[in-house]
């Protein structure tokens, strides 16, 4: 299928929109709001959609916005998603558009995601006579905080009335130079669960260990034992990682055995069946290891986002269209990531494709990773991200005559 004229029309529209996209992104960047607190962000997005004549509803999962663009030809419904929340990070950049909210920053690029989806909406509205079917625009709150805005919006019916047959999303990627995008079929991002352990012993004098039940010693053995759930019980072909990031005791000194120790960690994998089995094994190891040394262990395991699976057929098609829109040399293969993303909830429901948008520029020093106080993007990515989303929506739903 050849889409040269449509591709060029979308490129022209995105280029014409560039200055407005920069203004939108900088406004959002200056006024970040934390997960499930995005009231003004949602209102801003709704005003933009209204100003362009795009029908929408508000109040999804708190402050989410959902728009709908109906084409003038029959066809399926495709969903496009962007997250809109920020992180509790203090921005240290000296840029004129840095955050005006102390301790809150768009350090994960959700301002870029929302801007690109607004830009795509504008382009799609202008091309609606060429659109077959409809496009649902999902501006989602709360990606950074469990249970995740995606799961809540799904429960509220965002994948119904009308029901999309597929969903697309994109995420900023500083290691990828601006102008490039990356795709991966199948397993892409991991599930993410939180592990909270309380190890109870019997405190006392460090010089009299025979009179104590040392929870620190038990905790040390627990860390080693639980790691073996992954290394000796898990299929080595399934990516898995278990990390403890925090250990704390009550009281403490060099000569004191504490009464309790708390551990916090994360378990991540790429297979939902193994994920459930590992949860059971972790619980068994915790109980048996603590009891073996006379202590007790309480486990609280918080299930987070599931693994993100990119539908192979949809992703192949989306990648092919990206190569057509940007050029084959601008589209790269992505490795799997053990980070998590609540877009995964959508991928568990309908065919999904989640790609990476290059935002880095080494020559300009734009290299800071996401979730850091110096994160920024090359704003040329706004034009590329908005145009690519619009082109994907038009061509996935469009059959040339």
Domain check: are 249 and 337 in the same one?
A: no
67 vs 223: CA distance, rounded Å: 47
State yes or no: is 85 an active-site residue.
yes
Q: What is the model's pLDDT at position 96?
A: 95
251 occurs within a structural domain: yes
Last residue within a domain, chosen from 302, 325, 360 = 302
Domain, as residue range, for 214: 193-302
Average pLDDT for 339-344: 97
With respect to residue 69, please indicate whether it lies within any of the assigned structural domains. yes
State residue 4's pLDDT score. Answer: 86
pLDDT at 400 over 50: no
- Which residue among 302, 323, 353 closes a domain? 302
Binning pLDDT at 50, 70 and 90, where does residue 2 land?
low
Whether 257 and 120 map to the same domain: the answer is: no
Express each pLDDT in 35-76 by its tens digit.
Answer: 999 999 999 999 999 999 999 999 999 999 999 999 988 899
Number of domains in the chain: 2
Q: Is the pLDDT score of 128 beyond 60?
A: yes
pLDDT tens, position by position, 3-40? 889 999 999 999 999 999 999 999 999 999 999 999 99
Query: CA separation (Å) from 78 to 2, 167, 390?
Result: 21, 6, 11
Of the three residues 270, 302, 334, the one that is the final residue of a domain is 302
CB 396 within 8 A of CB 390: no
Would you say residue 387 lies in a domain? yes
How distant, in Å, are the alpha carbons of 44, 48, 49, 67, 394 from that of 32?
Answer: 12, 17, 19, 21, 31
Label residue 252 by pLDDT band (50, 70, 90): confident
Same domain, 312 and 223: no
pLDDT reading at 398 higher than 80? no
Q: Answer yes or no: are the C-beta atoms of 213 and 258 closer than 8 Å.
A: no
Q: Is residue 388 part of a domain?
A: yes
**Is the same domain home to 180 and 247?**
no
Separation of alpha carbons 395 and 398, rounded Å? 5
Whether residue 113 contacts residue 376, with contact meaning beta carbons closer than 8 Å, is answered with no
* DSSP 8-class letter at 295: -
Residue 286 located in a structural domain: yes
For range 254-273, the mean pLDDT: 96
Neighbours of 72 (CB within 10 A): 9
Question: How confident is the model over 272-296, as pLDDT tens digits?
Answer: 999 999 999 999 999 999 999 999 9
Let me know whether 286 and 375 are in one domain: no
Looking at the fold, whether 284 and 370 belong to one and the same domain comes out as no
Mean pLDDT of the chain: 96
Position 104 in a domain: yes
The SS3 assignment for 278 reads: helix
Q: Within this chain, do residues 239 and 386 fall inside the same structural domain, yes or no?
A: no
- Report the first-to-last Cα separation within the chain, whole angstroms: 10
Q: Which of 38, 111, 143, 193 is catalytic?
A: 143
Q: Are residues 318 and 298 in the same domain?
A: no
Extract the tokens encoding 252.
């403490």
Within this chain, do residues 58 and 142 fall inside the same structural domain, yes or no? yes
**Could you read off the pLDDT of 346-387 as tens digits, one per residue?**
999 999 999 999 999 999 999 999 999 999 999 999 999 999
Predicted TM-score of the model (pTM): 0.93
Catalytic residue (one of 33, 85, 111, 342): 85
* 376 is known as an active-site residue: no
Sign (positive or negative) of CA dihedral 25, 29, 30, 35: positive
C-alpha distance from residue 208 to each of 200, 214, 267, 284, 290 (Å): 18, 11, 36, 30, 20
Tokens read off for 212: 């104590």
The answer to whether residues 88 and 163 belong to one domain is yes
In tens, the pLDDT along 298-321 reads 999 999 999 999 999 999 999 999
Is 401 inside any structural domain?
A: no
Position 381 in a domain: yes
Pick from 112, 34, 98, 88: which is nearest to 356 by CA? Answer: 112
The CATH number assigned to the domain holding 155 equals 3.40.630.10
Same domain as 161, residue 106: yes
Alpha helices in 141-205 (DSSP H): 149-155
CATH number of the CATH domain containing 244 = 3.30.70.360
156 plus 206 within the same structural domain: no
């Amino acid at each position: 299928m050849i889409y040269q004229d449509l591709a060029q029309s979308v490129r022209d529209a995105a280029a014409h929109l560039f200055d407005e996209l920069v203004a939108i992104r900088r406004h959002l960047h200056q006024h970040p709001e934390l997960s499930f607190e995005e009231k003004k962000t949602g209102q801003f997005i709704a005003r933009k959609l209204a100003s362009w004549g795009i029908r929408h509803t508000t109040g999804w999962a708190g402050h989410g916005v959902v728009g709908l663009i109906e084409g003038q030809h029959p066809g399926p419904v495709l969903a496009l998603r962007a997250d809109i929340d920020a992180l509790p990070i203090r921005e240290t950049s000296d840029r004129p558009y840095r955050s005006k909210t102390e301790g809150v920053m768009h350090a994960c690029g959700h301002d870029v995601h929302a801007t690109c989806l607004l830009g795509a909406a504008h382009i799609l509205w202008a091309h609606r006579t060429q659109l077959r079917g409809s496009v649902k625009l999902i501006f989602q709150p709360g990606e950074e905080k469990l249970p995740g805005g995606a799961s809540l919006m799904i429960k509220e019916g965002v994948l119904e009335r009308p029901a999309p047959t597929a969903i697309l999303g994109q995420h900023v990627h500083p290691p990828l130079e601006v102008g490039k995008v990356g795709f991966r079929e199948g397993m892409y991002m991991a599930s993410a669960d939180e592990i909270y352990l309380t190890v109870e012993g019997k405190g006392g004098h460090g010089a009299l260990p025979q009179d104590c039940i040392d929870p620190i010693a038990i905790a040390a053995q627990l860390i080693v034992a639980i790691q073996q759930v992954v290394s000796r019980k898990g299929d080595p072909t399934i990516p898995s990682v278990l990390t403890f990031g925090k250990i704390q005791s009550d009281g403490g000194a060099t000569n004191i055995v504490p009464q309790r120790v708390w551990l916090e960690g994360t378990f991540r994998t790429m297979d939902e069946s193994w994920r459930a089995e590992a949860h059971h094994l972790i619980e068994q190891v915790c109980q048996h290891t603590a009891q073996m040394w006379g202590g007790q262990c309480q486990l609280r395991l918080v299930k987070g986002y599931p693994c993100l699976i990119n539908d192979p057929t949809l992703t192949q098609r989306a990648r092919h269209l990206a190569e057509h829109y940007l050029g084959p040399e601008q589209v790269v293969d992505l490795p799997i990531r053990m980070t998590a993303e609540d877009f995964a909830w959508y991928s568990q429901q309908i065919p999904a494709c989640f790609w990476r948008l290059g935002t880095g520029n080494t020559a300009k020093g734009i290299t800071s990773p996401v979730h850091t106080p110096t994160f920024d993007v090359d704003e040329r990515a706004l034009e590329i991200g908005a145009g690519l989303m619009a082109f994907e929506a038009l061509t996935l739903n469009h059959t040339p005559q």
